[in-house]
Amino acid sequence: MAHATATQPDKETPAKRFDRRRHSRVAVNVLGRFMLEDRREYPCQVINMSPGGAALIAPVQAKLGERVVAYLDHIGRIEGEVVREIQGGFAMRINAPLRKRDKLANVLTWLANRDSLNLEEDRRHERFTPKNPVTQIVLADGRSYRCRIVDVSLSGASLKAEVKPEIGMSIQLGKMRARVVRHFEDGIAVEFAHIQNRDLLEQHIS
């Protein structure tokens, strides 16, 4: 005689809990560029991300299901497809093997904690004051403002300026692309999009 087997509730295994933690989204401000299927490239800003997906602010809207390849500062190349629209951009699913997802998780942990733990990349580079400390910043809408460089390193600078763009905002500093990472009493601190060459830095920043 056959006995009916009671259906046991599906318990969450440790592996499932670990996977869920690995894919929790964190708020970040990462600049980069992305390419759609028509091979046109556009600038973007990642506002939150997990090893399995990312939300991008972008100047163009992408179609649901469209393939995206993005190149992000600190993170590198990611690819996947658009899964939903968000205000001012879109969210994408990241297609990556487990090993790369684990690497992404480590980078995201660093990005999320570097400000609160004083892990800014600038601390690895010596700061100095350029011979010509006067330069200008240009905002995304084209407005420009004179400013004075307090000090600079290969990865960022402190600026004395009357204007204080929002933290995370992309700006042009001299000939270089940067983003605002901190405000202080009479100015701002910015992080360069790429680590600079010492020999060219003074030429590009002034």
- Is the full-model pTM beyond 0.75? no
Of 113, 145, 165, which residue is a domain's last? 113
In-domain check, residue 12 = no
Same domain assignment for residues 191 and 132: yes
Same domain assignment for residues 103 and 141: no
Distance CA 40, CA 97 (A): 26
Measure CA of the first residue to CA of the last residue in the chain; give whole Å: 88
| Cβ-contact 205, 157 below 8 angstroms | yes
CATH number of the domain encompassing residue 131 = 2.40.10.220
| Number of domains present in the structure of the chain | 2
In-domain check, residue 3 = no
pLDDT at 118: 47
pLDDT at 195: 62
pLDDT tens for the chain, 206 residues: list them.
Answer: 444 434 344 444 433 433 444 457 888 888 888 999 998 888 888 999 999 999 999 988 899 999 999 988 778 889 999 999 998 899 999 999 998 898 888 888 877 776 554 444 444 456 788 888 999 999 988 899 999 998 888 888 889 998 999 888 889 998 888 888 888 888 998 888 766 666 677 777 76
In-domain check, residue 173 = yes
pLDDT at 93: 96
Of 113, 141, 157, which residue is a domain's last? 113
pLDDT at 49: 94
Same domain assignment for residues 41 and 107: yes
Same domain assignment for residues 85 and 135: no
Q: How many CB atoms lie within 10 A of CB 10?
A: 7
pLDDT at 203: 72
Same domain assignment for residues 143 and 182: yes
In-domain check, residue 135 = yes
Same domain assignment for residues 134 and 109: no
DSSP string, 137-195: EE-TTS-EEEEEEEEE-SSEEEEE-S--PPTT-EEEETTEEEEEEEEETTEEEEEESSP
In-domain check, residue 9 = no
Distance CA 156, CA 143 (A): 21
- Domain membership of residue 69 as a residue range: 24-113
pLDDT at 76: 83
Distance CA 156, CA 154 (A): 6
| Cβ-contact 129, 150 below 8 angstroms | yes
pLDDT at 132: 87
